[in-house]
Amino acid sequence: MGWGIKLRVSQWDELDRLRFSTKSKAVFRNGLIILLSDSRDSIKCKPSAKYRSG
């Protein structure tokens, strides 16, 4: 498995601007995933009761 991606500062800033200017939850989430991939942070979360379906 690779170590993720490496963004230039200008790419990081552009993606961050996009995330905070969009009304789309998917764009915000996907942008965050890309930024976290660059910083090599892992994405860990527990399912919240309010997000569970069923």
Rounded distance, CA 50 to CA 31, Å? 23
Each residue's pLDDT tens digit, 20-44: 999 999 999 999 988 888 765 455 5
Residues shown for the chain: 54
pLDDT of 2 > 80? The answer is no
- Per-residue pLDDT band for 13 (boundaries 50, 70, 90) equals very high
Distance CA 48, CA 35 (A): 23
Domain boundaries in the chain? 1-42
Provide mean pLDDT across the span 45-54. 54
